[in-house]
């Protein structure tokens, strides 16, 4: 072979780099996401409604859950690819969750962003993702019939 051989980055790799750069410009990096997750779950644990639901599932050892959520949010916000779980399945087995709890969850998440986000753009970016996550989980938990088909409500 006479010409130098080079492998170009794939479309997915280029897109991931663009997402990370945009997040960096907004002030979102793994250090910030770690802080956000810690602050958010401190609010969850202190909440009279949501705290007991999470406590029943997680118990006293929150370290593994917080680590998992940091990987989750790095994957959501930075396209890091560090999370490989099944959040719908996990949430479907939670006991005592009501449809209105997602609004409460979002309210606590927004308060966390309002106090911790480095820029308004970061808060908006993360909040839009949280809203989609909440909508998806709510639909999976409450808006499907036993056969798994979306309801027509």
152 within 8 A of 144, measured Cβ to Cβ:
no
Helices vs strands, H then E, count in the chain:
7, 0
**Domain presence at residue 12:** no
Per-residue pLDDT tens for 91-101?
888 888 999 99
Domain annotation covers residue 9: no
146 pLDDT above the threshold of 60 = no
Q: Does the residue 57 lie in any domain?
A: yes
Q: Within a domain: residue 13?
A: no
Mean per-residue pLDDT, 104-112: 98
* CATH number for position 80: 1.10.490.10
Quote the number of domains for the chain.
1
**Any domain includes 69:** yes
Check residue 4 and give left, alpha or beta (phi > 0: left; psi -120 to 50: alpha).
beta
Nearest-angstrom CA–CA distance, 143 and 153? 8
pLDDT at 24 over 50: yes
Residue 99 within a domain: yes
The pLDDT assigned to 99 comes to: 92
Containing domain of residue 138, as a range? 31-142
Residue 2 lies in a domain: no
Mean of all residue pLDDT scores within the chain: 88
The pTM of this model reads 0.83
Distance spanning both ends of the chain, measured CA to CA: 63
Closest to 16 (Cα-Cα) out of 4, 7, 24: 24
Residue 11 counted as domain residue: no
Question: Looking at residue 86, what is its pLDDT?
Answer: 82
């Amino acid at each position: 072979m006479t010409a130098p051989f080079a492998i170009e980055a794939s479309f997915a790799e280029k897109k991931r780099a663009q997402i990370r750069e945009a997040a960096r410009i907004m002030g979102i990096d793994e250090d910030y996401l770690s802080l956000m997750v810690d602050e958010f779950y401190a609010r969850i644990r202190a909440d009279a409604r949501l705290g007991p639901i999470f406590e029943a599932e997680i118990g006293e050892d929150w370290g593994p859950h917080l680590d998992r959520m940091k990987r989750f949010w790095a994957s959501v916000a930075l396209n890091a690819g560090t999370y490989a779980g099944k959040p719908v399945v996990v949430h479907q087995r939670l006991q005592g969750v009501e449809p209105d709890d997602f609004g409460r969850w979002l309210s606590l998440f927004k308060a966390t962003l309002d106090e911790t986000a480095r820029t308004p753009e970061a808060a908006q970016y993360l909040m839009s993702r949280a809203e989609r996550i909440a909508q998806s989980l709510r639909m999976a938990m409450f808006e499907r019939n036993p056969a798994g088909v979306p309801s027509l409500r």
